[in-house]
Structure 1
């Protein structure tokens, strides 16, 4: 509670002018305010959330999800934070409205069963009016229509006139995490840019007058599947103040983009484009705003360990980068530029987020690679658009689906497609484009942007009555255990007969559950009366281990006492491969780059996969050096030292942690002294000598800046080598050669094949010349020009090209147009024109594109030379006749 009663927002009272605070000052002021009121200040969580059901961190409350669900006890009764967030559900509005963003910061204060509505409202008002000094007469609040308690607090304790307290329905003022789960009414505070318009016509949907900057959520209910609300045992507070929105208000600028949080990035982009932002039209300003917003987003995403790809959060990153490049081209930037703008974003935010500067190299490398690749993609898109246009009749229309493919796959803005189409006398089906765009928005909303706090798997409701599974597998290959739960197709059963696929939960287990990239153990569950359950996999649901298997004999019952026994041969293989990944990472750091870090891994029984950050492929020599180093460490027989210690201690000792991974306060450290020390919960060999051998199978690229090594270790190496040996023996028998002679034999055959191809090409060229010499007599005079339009039977595109160039050389000033049907479903066309013909306005590229349509194809080229293809040989004669007619008309 404030020390003095809240001031009444009387319009007659003189109001203090709000301070013009920087974004950094607003952030710190908010955190300090709540720290003084007993809130623990917490750093922003990563944009990559711990919650596997959510793609990206999209709200300030997301890191506290387990607390709100009652799955984890709160370490502090009160907390406050400034949380980085990413949302892309309204990406098309970015830059077009005053306050839509993909990246934004949410200032929040949270109570976990401590205080509730009264303190949340009083403190929010005190912060807004007494600290940020917003004039009370400029503030309007909303409450849920049935929340009389909040209404009364605002009216009676804060003193806001009823006319400026708006009751809203569920859509606006009732927060729900999903169809079920914690929920409750909320109250929002709006800033009024035009209080002079009075209180008679307050419409909070009018974003030209009002901006909602602070949302207070009162989580007081639990909603069941039927929509029934029951009070929660603990009432929680979840608030969010938009940093960018408060900056717009206090810095007195017309939109969030012109605040000091974003505008310096926009200015950098404008300078690169040679533009003065203040003098730009709205279309250009929109592109600059998109660049400013998206560059903030991509720098933070990469800093938090996201790499561009075509899946999941990697696709979000790639899409944002491509939009930056696309909008750069719209404002005239043709050269690579995104790393320059990223430097501005890093410099602007590094004080609050030091990891941006720490990850500067990774950020700029990823951005440069993605930008260069996308520029190449744009060139391919331009060729595709040319093909689309070539197939359309005069005054035709590019379909909405084609326009959207160009936009979504090749990065073509709709405006660019329309511009090019207009030059060709065509239009674009924009309605069809919008239909495809809306389909994509629906997919994006469904896939990425829902905070669902209830999706925890079918075991959630049952897990409340289960204790976490005790894992014994680090030291025991088998253990006695009690069956706590049996599931068939996700539903609990009392018994399961032979032949039934089951999921079994035990009180304790030696089976390792899949995690950290390592597969789950295999083995058997053995019980009385011949009971035998074959376990094929083990997964985790929180701290509960779920054994997936099949009842092979007997009947499995809840409450059974049985023996859980892992397959030791499989475990040893997994251990060998897992330890090998640790040695592999150590070798990469030692031999290639000490900044290399794990980006992902897979440890199976028969192989291993290790993804790491590196902007280039490894050379063959480097791969051999890495393999030799790992095998040297194996042969040196380094013993493992496994220990549990505080996370801070492990990091101080130099233990390697996976970037972006979340660790508990106590961590397990796998140390092979002098070689490798990592935080890891997986199973490992006790001595590197147990691995035996290590062999790299391949090294490939996964995405920009991420490489992948696939390898085998232990017994799998022998299997791999045996397979290769069989292949070599078979090749030796085929070539009648010793293994060491096979490469030379293959090289000789390749050279022979190349020679044959060259000879064949030479023969085809000679044939084309001979055929062309026979056609020269068909040339006709047309004024000062000589014209030859003819068919060369069975000639391919290369032969036509050779013939056309030779014929034009012989004819002098003139035009040559040749056609052929080298296959039953293929047409080849070529046009070669002299400079004087071009001066008459006749261009080979334009003519051949139109003629090729008659044969069901398309093509183009330069004014003096062009080639095209088609699919309908029956139209070849018609096409040549039309070509002759158009040449005569142009030159006659």
Structure 2
């Protein structure tokens, strides 16, 4: 036999592997078990041929042990079961027993699809099953493999030889001879089958070979003529032997492998079904205890149940095994990748369980945790680790079941109505639009919509659903920074322009030729100063945004003359294949197609990106080390000022875990390790253990970045040469961003130094203010908080006394209503008394007026929101009058919310509705002032309005910080102004249109500080540099309407939002000359509105009272002296996500101009 050429020394291997067959999505695997996938109805007990004389009944655990012992006695090494989460990130889940040996075979993946709909309906389809396998790599081959398989089946398990049938590949005479000549299997029980059934390949090329299968015959009395081994009612294939002996070449020819290998698989559930003589896999002792438990919870007798009920119970029994083992192996429910697999199984089990009436005996009524405990009891022999993870499994199932039950209850009624309408109209299908509404607005999974519809005899227009999904995806992409080159004649461009040659790994400056220029997406031959452009070069040192790393910044210089800058590059993206699109603005001179330029990357910013990218790799390595190897990357951002890393995990990290992660990374940084970067074949990279992103597409050649001993990843980004360049690493925040997904933000390198320095300055200021040392700050602050609480209590008590005193002065204003009831009524404005004190006043008044009495009080302590209180005595309530029902409608009329008990209720309303007035919005007059500019182009991204990096996308980046009188506590955010400088020699009459994104808090006589782009726009052609030299310019300005011709008012969910506790939004594309002064949010269909507060600047509104389900918004918009509520026409879906922008469907333009003072703007028109 040939010598073993594998990364271990044992001559042969035995492996008991867990298998998982996902449902109908195309997934990447290494090999197919080649089980027959034909559908058939399960055998009934009456149809099953029982041969009591065989005495074959044995437990699943016994079958497993006897298999392992059999092969161990023949020189095999027993290995533990593989995890359902394979080490290869390009494979969704472990679905083949030999998957852990995959690196030994250099084959490609193929696609396997298995229908989840068959589970429970046939006798053998399962999502989860256990495969027992024996493997040999270059040791024994066909003769031993076949002989041992036969001995195991006939001698060890005692299966009658006359009931066993064999299939072989049609051209494999050698295998046929072993079965027939050496083992004596009659020729009429050996079937030669074609390549589709009995020849295994790893792909178009690579290792391959024939296979042979052993079938058990349940009905030998049917004879040997016209036998079809695919007849599920008669046969079941339980053992598969694959003989990998060839290498398939590109031309389709087969060449013998130097090292021949054996890969076999025996289905444990199938063998248990045969030996235990039950009609299907589900009724074996491996699964049936789970089914029995579910039956008991549903008060159903499985034996007496109809076939439909039995099918549903089988589905639950099957799915529960898959769910428990997936969560045990670190796969948590989410909406992506492996997480979606387990989420779908959970949701399917929950829905079917509800149909059967299954309820748990716990407070919440959850039943999955109860069934999970049954699975865990059965898991001891297959995977003892499952029991140690019981708490994790139970907690996750309870959380997910409760979450989905809420979703089901919201969507079930609407789906039922949709199906009724379809049936009444005699329509055989549900529209894709309706299915998408359920999915997008109510969070109702389309798979379940499809199942429920089919149960009613209605199909779903999946094409229409997919179109709606694609439309949403496009809108989502448009809302993010993913920019596609907007070229009308894109095909012509790609024909004439080759892919860009990237030089940025080895140099940050190079000569290049301009091959294309685009202005507003249209090709031009030449551009001049002031134009925003997209430049296409034949070669570039600029890194284009990809792999989470943002694009480089820098300059293009004409003919290498660095004193004469032509284009300031602010972003680089890939488009139309591998063409790099350099986005920038012409700051001086002209640029022509065909011109040679020097492309120079901003060295400082590139270094910041390199530091953060390498730190991201170290962060992933640290996470795997601290919280577990099963965690993996779910997304990332590598920016100049920070890094962001999303990963799959089901809980927040503890303080100790975060500290350990930081310490590990800083230790690796301090080790000053040289990085190794090399390009190699993808297969070699995976064999070496390089981490890849699941779902990412890779070419045959990949770039591998390695920090020796720490991290190895497939990565095309830029990295430091030595970890010491990172200098330091600090985690800024850790939070949840979606179900099962956590996010860490951190800084490294210069950003780390700046962060630490800033925090140190804060601490010094704090110590100075508190007059303590740093180590005493915490105790000092705690003492101050204690003093503050005591002071607040004293103030509250004093305010309550003052309120009661004021109440005593208005008792005489009470009047009597009702001739028979004589109710004493008092309605009074209590001015500036706060809500708590107002309550004390109301309680005093109803006591003083005596029963029956009704008191309604109002106050406005802060000038922004008014408080209302209604207090009724028992006598009033007894007449059928309730304070809660009285005050609720009043609050709604005033744009607020309120309610309470029959005897006491309160409300808060926006005073802006009653007194809405905005002098800034109304102002159309010309003003004179001064304007300066920010020297740093990105300065306004951190502006007080809170727009962040979104700001650069507004108004072509022409932004401004405005004086307090214009900023107006944030109400002026998003306002547009036309500004022109008074220097006639330098400045144009058109001036510059700017958008307010920041507060100008400098007392230097300037009403505006502009972005450099906005400041230069005031200049005449060719005079921008002269204007910049002035620094501060005399200007005149006036408020003008903002124009967003193709955009509605939009709502962006902030990163800090977290369901169900907190929602923060930014309002974008606020058209016209308007201001939004109030925002409310409610669940769709509810009249219970929650007001949102303006925080973190003017553009951010937030609330900690987040309604469930899809959300609707309304706004008070002012222009002039009017103020009214405007409702968003579109709703935000129930599964709203952070950083996503949602269209309101509402156009905000000038609403009213009455009441605005007339201005003499004649000088402006000159």
- What TM bracket, shorter-length normalisation? 0.5 to 0.7
Structure 2, unaligned stretches of length 5 or more?
2-50, 360-364, 468-504, 508-535, 554-559, 561-570, 573-577, 582-604, 675-689, 695-705, 759-938, 946-960, 971-998, 1003-1064, 1066-1074, 1088-1113, 1115-1124, 1130-1166
Work out whether residues 619 and 665 of structure 2, in 8 Å CA contact, stay in contact via their aligned partners in 1.
Answer: no
Q: Secondary structure at the match of 2:54?
A: coil
1:711 maps to: 746
Q: Name the CA shift for 1:275/1:643 in 2 (closer, same or farther; >3 Å).
A: farther
Whole-angstrom CA distance in 1 between matches of 2:174 and 2:463 = 45
Which residue number corresponds to residue 858 of structure 1? none
Deviations 1:794-829 (A, max 9, x none): xxxx9xxxxxxxxxxxxxxxxxxxxxxx99999xxx
Q: 1:740 to 1:196 in 2, by over 3 A?
A: same
2:120 to 88, 92, 95: 95
1:87 CA displacement: 7.9
CA separation of 1:580/1:186 partners in 2, compared to 1, >3 Å: closer, same or farther? closer
Choose from 315, 337, 345 the match for 2:340: 315
Name the CA distance, whole Å, in 2 between partners of 1:251 and 1:731: 84
- Provide the residue aligned with 1:154 in structure 2: 179
Aligned partner of 2:644 in structure 1 is 609
TM-fit CA distance, 1:577:
5.5
Structure 1 residue aligned with 2:736, among 683, 700, 720?
A: 700
User: Residue by residue, what CA displacement relative to the aligned partner does 1:461-513 show, whole Å, maximum 9, x if unpaired?
Assistant: xxxxxxxxxxxxxxxx999xxxxxxxxxxxxxxxxxx976799xxxxxxx9xx
Q: What secondary structure does 1:727 align onto?
A: coil
User: How far apart are 1:232 and its partner, in Å?
Assistant: 2.4
The 8 Å contact of residues 611 and 726 in structure 2, kept in 1 or not, is answered as: no
Are the aligned partners of 1:218 and 1:238 in contact in 2 as well (CA < 8 Å)?
yes
1:33 aligns with 2:63: no
Kindly state the Cα deviation for residue 735 of structure 1 after the two structures are TM-superposed: 4.2
Q: 1:600 aligns with which of 633, 638, 653?
A: 633
Q: CA shift at 1:122, angstroms?
A: 0.8
- Does the 8 Å contact 2:124/2:270 carry over to 1? yes
Structure 2 counterpart of 1:179: 204
Deviation at residue 70 of structure 1 after TM alignment:
7.9
User: Equivalent residues in 2 for 1:286-325 (5 A)?
Assistant: 286-325=311-350
Aligned-pair distance for 1:398?
Answer: 5.3
1:243 maps to 268
Answer whether contact 1:695 1:717 (CA < 8 A) is retained.
no
Partner of 1:221 in structure 2? 246
Equivalences for residues 427-506 of structure 1 within 5 A = 428-430=457-459
Q: Deviations over 1:682-710 (max 9, x none)?
A: 979867993276533x733322x442233
1:397 aligns to what SS in structure 2? coil
Aligned partners of 1:731 and 1:630: how far apart in 2? Answer: 46
Structure 1 residue 737, shift from structure 2 partner: 6.9
Looking at structure 1, the residues matched to 707 and 741 of structure 2 have their Cα atoms a distance apart, in angstroms, of 27
Within the candidate set 405, 409, 415, 2:445 is matched to 409
Q: Contact (CA 8 Å) 1:88, 1:102: kept in 2 or not?
A: no
CA–CA separation in structure 2 for the residues paired with 1:110 and 1:634: 39
Q: 1:154 to 1:707 in 2, by over 3 A?
A: same
1:599–1:706 contact (8 Å) kept in structure 2: no
For residues 389 and 260 of structure 1, what CA distance do their matches in structure 2 show? Answer: 40
Aligned partner of 2:87 in structure 1 is 50
Cα 1:278/1:34, change in 2 over 3 Å: same
What is residue 611 of structure 2 aligned with on the other side?
Answer: 572
Q: Which residue in 1 is equivalent to 2:144?
A: 119
Residue matched to 1:168: 193
Residues 575, 169 of structure 1: alpha-carbon distance in 2 compared, 3 angstrom cutoff: closer
Report which of the two has the higher share of helix: 1
Q: How does 1:638-649 map to 2 (within 5 A)?
A: 640-641=670-671
Give me the CA root mean square deviation: 5.7
Structure 1 Cα separation of the partners of residues 148 and 540 of structure 2: 53
Q: CA deviation at 1:265?
A: 1.2
**1:548 Cα offset (Å):** 12
Q: Name the SS of the counterpart of 2:279 in structure 1.
A: coil
Q: CA deviation at 1:171?
A: 2.4
CA distance in 1, matches of 2:420, 2:619: 56
1:142·1:168 contact (CA, 8 Å) conserved in 2? yes
Of residues 56-65 and 716-725 in structure 1, the stretch that sits farther from structure 2 once superposed is 716-725
Q: Would you say 1:727 and 2:976 are equivalent positions?
A: no
How far did 1:243 drift?
A: 0.9
1:146 alignment partner, SS class: coil
Distance 1:435 1:713 in 2: 47
Instruction: Give the alignment's TM-score, normalised by structure 1.
Output: 0.55
Correspondence for 2:392 = 362
Distance (Å, rounded) in 2 between the aligned partners of 1:614 and 1:298: 16
Q: 1:187 to 1:412 in 2, by over 3 A?
A: closer
| Range moving further from structure 2, 681-690 or 573-582 | 681-690
1:699 partner SS: strand
1:344 positional shift: 1.2
C-alpha separation in 1, matches of 2:200 and 2:662: 59
Report the CA distance between 1:604 and its aligned residue.
2.8
Residues 568 and 185 of structure 1: is their aligned pair in 2 closer, same or farther, counting only changes over 3 Å?
A: same
Alpha-carbon distance between aligned partners in 2 of 1:348 and 1:298, rounded to the nearest angstrom: 14
Does residue 62 of structure 1 match 2:99?
A: yes
How much does 1:343 deviate?
Answer: 1.6
- Does the CA-based 8 Å contact 1:294-1:321 persist in structure 2? yes
